[in-house]
Amino acid sequence: MKIRIAYFIIIVLHLTTGCSHAEPVLSKKILIVYLSRTNNTKAIAEIIQKNTGGTLVALELEKPYLENYKQTVQQVVSENETGFLPPLKTKIDSIENYGIVFLGFPTWDMKMPPPMKSFLHQYDLSGKTVIPFNTNAGYGVGNSFYTVKELCPNSTILEGFEIKGGVERDGIYLAIKDEKAKEAETEVKQWLRKIKIIE
């Protein structure tokens, strides 16, 4: 009888003390990769880093986009139509060491910007938790979050975050600053708690 009770206790302890091999989200190493033209996405990436302690990496191109907004819009439309993936200058060593990858980008042409597509084609995020975040001119994320799911079919995709940033077309560049930055941090922290990245 005592042997049966002892055996039962062992089984209960086995089931309740984390014998599942799934690693808790909060214990995983965090990478925050972002693309930012007017520094609004960068501002959100920095807020995420401040609250998670993740490693921050800015995506840079071998051949940067032109300063001229209209010319850049035309180039991006062409890249989206042809499927061109601009080569990245940014290199990330040991990406396999990261369990959580935040992906930050603005909405361009109502889509994910080509450089972020380049990143997702270049680096395999299979088995990782992938979390998108986005800044836009007020028109939303377009189909960009769907593209994250499409290009990361073997990743766990968590709910993304989006916020209005600058409106470069109208000459409004960095909008997430001062009081707006404080409001953004409050929203980001609420989102991070909701998806259980912070407590």
Domains of the chain by residue range: 25-194
Task: Express each pLDDT in 146-190 by its tens digit.
Answer: 999 999 999 999 999 999 999 999 999 999 999 999 999 999 999
CATH architecture classification, 25-194? 3-Layer(aba) Sandwich (3.40)
How high does pLDDT run on average in the chain?
A: 89
pTM of the predicted model as reported, rounded to 2 decimal places: 0.86
Contact 110, 147 (CB under 8 A): no
- E strands, the chain, are 30-34, 55-58, 100-106, 129-136, 156-157, 161-164
Cα–Cα distance between 112 and 109 in angstroms, integer?
A: 8
Q: How many residues make up the chain in this entry? A: 199
pLDDT value at residue 28: 83
Segment (H or E) for 149: helix 144-151
Q: What's the token pair of residue 103?
A: 């992906």
- Joined together, the tokens standing for residue 62 give 């071998």
Determine the pLDDT at residue 26.
58
Count of alpha carbons within 13 Å of 101, Cβ hemisphere only?
A: 26
- Confidence at residue 25, expressed as pLDDT on a 0 to 100 scale: 54
Cα dist from 40 to 92, 104, 105, whole Å:
22, 10, 9
As given in the structure block, the two tokens for residue 114 are 């080509």
Low-confidence ranges of the chain (pLDDT < 70): 1-27
